[in-house]
Amino acid sequence: MSADLAIDVFGLNKSFGKKHVVRDLSLKVPRGQIFGFLGPNGSGKTTSIRLICGLLTADSGRGTCLGYDVIRQSAAIKREVGYMTQRFSLWEDLSIRENLDFVARMYGMADRREAVDRELEKLGLAARQDQLAGALSGGWKQRLALASCLLHRPRLLLLDEPTAGVDPKARRDFWDEIHGLAAQGITVLVSTHYMDEAERCHQLAYIAYGRLLVSGTAAEVIAAQSLAGYAVTGPDLSAYAATLRGQTGIEQVTSFGATLHVTGHDREALGATAARMSADGAHAWTRIEPGLEDVFIGLMQGTEDNFP
């Protein structure tokens, strides 16, 4: 394994009963990068992350995480991982400081007081340290959860849809913190459904029902799909969308506010349909470059659930 790679895994598989949840997963993640996982609910994103980091044992495959073998050295990996679950999992009847102190005790940290003080200051929690966790807003709970993950100075962070249910400012502040951690050399694996968050990741992987379909930077993922697109404006777009579906060259018709995004892979056929449909002058068709959300929706439509 290269010293520059935090994660280097090949052919990981995992089944639960008859359901093959992860199929032949292979990934390389450089140290200090934010790597985003996208995909439908139940597609295997969280299971993939847990396999990579030794929190689950793969049925087959091989690889390393932080220099440790993902199959044989999972205990060593866990000691260097901070894991933030989607649902707030700390104790709501304890204060912020008591929660962090308890987590530090579980890690057996000899310098737990200093570690707790450090994270309270770093994440702006010191002034609220005596407040009960259960009384915190979603954004402050998020900060507390992140602080608990960082107490033992992990080299890898796992974030499972970490900003679900928090306001836009809290989400932006959170991502500023994550980019600061990556700049310090911490590698971050994050699953998200928010396209603006996905675009803030250094690299992305799209997983659909156990299979890795595409990976790379946001620009590479978009380019790999070779989608052509038009933005359509005009009256009664809901009814107009229904007339467009099934037309030659049109694969997706998606509402974006007061606009329809119409996309397809056959650029020539889509262009011909756009010229024909715009001839009446009632609707304006403007050529656009499809974005990550267009690609995401298209990939979702092109995959099927693998549940037997």
Helix or strand (DSSP H, E) at 288:
strand 284-288
* pLDDT tens digits along 58-68: 999 999 999 99
Residue 231 pLDDT exceeds 90: yes
The β-bridge relationship of strands 203-208 and 34-38 is parallel
Confidence of residue 49 (pLDDT cuts 50, 70, 90): confident
pLDDT the model gives residue 251: 93
- Quick check: 261 pLDDT over 50? yes
The pLDDT value recorded for residue 277 is 93
Q: What is the mean pLDDT of the chain?
A: 89
32-49+75-222 CATH, one of 3.40.190.10, 3.40.50.970, 3.40.50.300, 3.10.28.10: 3.40.50.300
User: In the chain, where are the structural domains located?
Assistant: 32-49+75-222, 228-289
pLDDT tens figures, 68-77: 999 999 999 9
- Give strand pairing partners of 151: none
> Is 201's pLDDT higher than 70?
yes
What pTM did the predictor assign?
A: 0.86
Contact 135, 166 (CB under 8 A): no
Phi, psi (deg, nearest 5) at residue 269 = -65, -40
Whether pLDDT at 307 is above 70: no
- Span 211-226, pLDDT tens digits: 888 899 999 999 988 9
Burial of 267 (0-12, 13-18, 19+ CB in 10 A): middle
Give the mean model confidence (pLDDT) for residues 135-146: 87
- Write out pLDDT tens, residues 79-122: 899 988 877 778 989 999 999 999 999 888 888 899 999 999 98
Greater confidence (2 vs 20) lies with: 20
The pLDDT of residue 305 is 56
Go through 279-305 and write b for each residue having 16 or more CB atoms within 10 A of its CB, e for each that does not. eeeebebeebebbbbbbbbbbeeebee
pLDDT for position 187: 95
Query: How much is the pLDDT for 140?
Result: 87
